[in-house]
Each structure stands twice: as C-alpha cells, then as structure tokens.
C-alpha cells in the first residue's frame, strides 16, 4: 500500500495528475505464422496479409502467466515495488477460470496484497481499465496496475477461416500513478457500448469465438470514428494535436478506414498487429510498449488510446504523457 490513507477519498475535481509511469509486455514463445495455417486451412499468406495486415500471432502460455510477466516488466520500468501498488485491474476476455477472476492469482504471483479484479469489456478492456484507474486516483489511491492479457488460443478455432487467422495471445501492463498537477493528465475519455450487437462476436461457455466479420468490420470503423471524435471534442483537440494514436490491433484495414474520416495518419499510429495478430485486451498496451521502446513517445506528447470490441464496446482516452 503506497500510503495508509489510500482509501480516504479526496475531494472530487482536484487537480490530480495522471501518469503512465511504466509499461511492460509479454508474448508467448510459440509463433503461428500465416504459412503454418495453410497446412490445415484453405488460405494463403498473401490473402491474410492483404485482408488483415497480420503475418503471425503467438500461441501458448496462460493469461495469468503472461500478465505476471508483463506486470513485472512494468513495475521495473516504473521503478516501483509490488508493495507500492494499491489496486490491480486485469482486462481480459480469456481468464484462466470462469471463477475466480485471474487478477488475484496475478497479484499473488507479484506479491501484491491489494484489491485485484478482472474487467471484461473485450478488446476495449484495457482502455476501460485506464479510465477506472483515473477514478481510483481521484478516490485516493496512488498507484494502480492496469493489465490487458489474453490467451485467446483457448477460445479460437484455428481451423476456422474467419477467426483462426486473426487471434493470438499476449499481455501488456501499465503502472498508472498520480502525477504533479498540470504535468501528466487524462485529458478526456469516452466509454460506450451497444448491446444490440452482442451476437456479431461472442463465445459461449466451453465454446470458441463466433464472428460476423463483415458486420464487426462495419461497426468497428463507425464506433472508432465516433469515440475518437467524442474524446477530441471533450478535450478541445483536433487530429493535428494528437502526437500518437494507439488503436486496438484487429485489422489494419479497419484502422485505415476509420482514419480517413478522422484525419489521422498511419505515421502517427502505433501498430504491432503484423506480428501479434488480434490480442484483444492486450493489443493496445502491447502497441504502447512497442512505441515507447521505439522512442516514439516523449514528455508532453498527446497520446490517444482507441479501442473497440465484442459487446460492442468501445473506449477512447487522451493522455498528456509525462516522463
Ligand atoms: N483465406 C482465404 N480466403 C478467405 C478467407 C481466408 N482466411 N476467409 C474468407 N475467404 C474468402 C471467402 O470465401 C470469400 O471468397 P469469395 O469471394 O470467392 O466468396 C472472400 O475471401 C471474401 O470473404 P469475406 O468473408 O467477405 O472476407 P472479408 O473481406 O470480410 O474478410 C475478415 C474477412 C474476417 C478478415 C474481415 O471480415 C475482418 O477482419 N472483420 C473484422 C474482424 C475483427 O476485427 N474482429 C475482431 C474485433 S475485436
């Protein structure tokens, strides 16, 4: 626990800064390439690359194991100890068990004796977690671990041409902490859902992902455009003000289509999709980790996180980055 008063609410509306102090990522070792899939599926590497932008994905590992690995790297990156964490939020669609949540086991592995819960908002989950973390900072906490992790190979049929080409495993984690007021900041956010589209992407208990790919594509482009616009409007920003967009990595054509109306460029977009496939809740923190390591984010930069997923859910958040 960072302070004895971590649970004492602060007055709302105070100028509490928001900083992503450390990030980490983990991918399982086993690579499943497009070429591998052609051994048992009527598809080609060329088709998958052209229609999705994906070249390979990772399989194996577990949601708790990948979470723990990514979180350890995030804690080290932030220079903090397990005892400094006030809360663990684990966004996942593929928990180790239906019950209990995976977050308590991850907290145990990390040596964190704080609250820990899973958050299920599909591929939007990590951005939902980021916004929840900001709320917890306002409630008096100092430092929150927000993880997005998946072992989607457990709910993916790699013989299905519609879904088997897309999904993979991975985890990304971020340590979110209070910053000096006026330094790092969560400038705006937008969370939404439309349960009328539950049926276009789902997995039943014991089943695998079922998807109406074309409808998901259409909805994804629409909600990304809407949510990004809502967050920019709330923050009084335009596309030109955004230094880097980190979108959910589902299909590069979805991103390119959404960007047309939004006026974003691929140059200012963080992508890891080609080598990860769609890792649902892990995809945005995986791309964040990659962008950060590549030196693409500097102090004061305006960074937008933009996700969508089954539900349908969507989420965007704009952060003034603080080093
Ligand atoms: N390999 C080769 N050919 C394939 C194929 C595959 N894996 N899947 C479909 N095809 C063929 C179809 O049979 C069809 O052939 P036809 O024209 O002779 O009938 C053609 O390619 C087009 O199929 P279609 O299903 O219309 O493909 P698509 O362009 O919609 O692409 C997806 C399919 C799944 C790649 C695409 O719909 C998609 O990415 N949707 C969004 C999914 C998503 O992002 N989900 C996660 C959300 S978080």
In this predicted model, what pLDDT tens digit does every residue of 226-246 receive, in sequence order? Answer: 999 999 999 999 999 999 999
Rounded Cα distance, 114 and 198, in Å: 33
> Which tens digits make up the pLDDT trace of 243-264?
999 999 999 999 999 999 999 9
**Residues 25 and 119 grouped into a single domain:** yes
Whether residue 248 lies in the annotated active site? yes
Residue at which a domain ends, from 179, 206, 227: 179
pLDDT at 102: 98
**Residues 173 and 80 grouped into a single domain:** yes
Q: Is the CB of 216 under 6 A from ligand 1?
A: yes
**Residues 165 and 269 grouped into a single domain:** no
> Which tens digits make up the pLDDT trace of 17-53?
999 999 999 999 999 999 999 999 999 999 999 999 9
Rounded Cα distance, 1 and 6, in Å: 7
Tell me the two tokens of residue 42. 């009527």
What's the whole-model pTM score?
A: 0.95
Domain that includes residue 297, residue range: 185-320
Long-range CB contacts (within 8 A, 24+) of 102-109: 102/63, 102/64, 102/67, 102/149, 103/147, 105/64, 106/64, 106/67, 106/68, 106/71, 106/147, 109/64, 109/68
Omega of the bond prior to 8 within 30 degrees of 0, cis? Answer: no
> Which tens digits make up the pLDDT trace of 93-110?
999 999 999 999 999 999
DSSP secondary structure of 264-276: --GGGB---HHHH
Whether residue 99 lies in the annotated active site? no
Q: Is the CB of 244 under 6 A from ligand 1?
A: no
- CB neighbour list of residue 232: distance below 8 Å, 6 or more residues apart: 188, 238, 239, 241, 242, 304, 318
pLDDT range class, residue 181, cuts 50, 70, 90: confident
**Residues 56 and 175 grouped into a single domain:** yes
**Residues 35 and 154 grouped into a single domain:** yes
pLDDT at 2: 45
Q: Which residue among 51, 247, 251 has the greatest number of ligand 1 atoms within 8 angstroms of its CB, and so is best to mutate?
A: 51
Kindly give the pairing relationship between strand 143-151 and strand 115-119: unpaired
Residue at which a domain ends, from 179, 212, 231: 179
**Residues 162 and 218 grouped into a single domain:** no
Whether residue 123 lies in the annotated active site? yes
**Residues 100 and 225 grouped into a single domain:** no
Judge whether 264 lies within some domain: yes
**For ligand 1, what atom is nearest to the CA of residue 122?**
48
What CATH number has the domain bearing residue 78?
A: 3.40.47.10
């Amino acid at each position: 626990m960072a302070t004895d008063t971590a649970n004492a609410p602060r007055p709302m509306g105070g100028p509490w800064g928001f900083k992503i102090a450390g990030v980490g990522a983990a991918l399982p070792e086993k690579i499943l390439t497009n070429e591998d899939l052609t051994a048992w599926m009527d598809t080609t590497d060329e088709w998958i690359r052209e229609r999705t932008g994906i070249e390979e994905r990772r399989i194996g590992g577990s949601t708790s194991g990948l979470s723990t690995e990514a979180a350890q790297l995030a804690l080290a990156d932030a220079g903090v100890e397990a005892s400094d964490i006030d809360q663990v939020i684990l966004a996942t669609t593929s928990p180790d068990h239906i019950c209990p949540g995976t977050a308590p086991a991850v907290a145990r592995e990390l040596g964190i004796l704080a609250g820990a819960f899973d958050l299920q908002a599909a591929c939007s989950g990590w951005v939902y977690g980021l916004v929840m973390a900001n709320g917890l900072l306002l409630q008096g906490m100092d430092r929150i671990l927000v993880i997005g992790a998946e072992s989607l190979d457990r709910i993916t049929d790699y013989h299905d041409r519609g879904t088997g080409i897309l999904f993979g495993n991975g985890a990304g984690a971020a340590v979110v902490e209070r910053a000096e007021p006026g330094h790092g900041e969560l400038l705006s956010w937008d969370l939404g859902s439309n349960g009328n589209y539950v049926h276009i992407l789902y997995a039943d208990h014991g089943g695998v992902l079922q998807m109406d790919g074309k409808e998901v594509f259409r909805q994804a482009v629409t909600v990304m455009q809407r949510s990004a616009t809502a967050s920019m409007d709330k923050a009084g920003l335009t596309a030109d003000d955004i230094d880097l967009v980190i979108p959910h990595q589902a299909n590069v054509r979805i991103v390119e289509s959404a960007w047309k109306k939004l006026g974003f460029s691929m140059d200012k977009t963080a992508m890891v999709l080609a080598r990860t496939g769609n890792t649902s809740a892990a995809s945005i923190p995986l791309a964040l980790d990659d962008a950060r390591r590549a030196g693409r984010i500097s102090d004061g930069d305006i960074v937008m996180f933009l996700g969508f997923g089954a539900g349908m859910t969507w989420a965007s958040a704009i952060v003034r980055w603080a080093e």
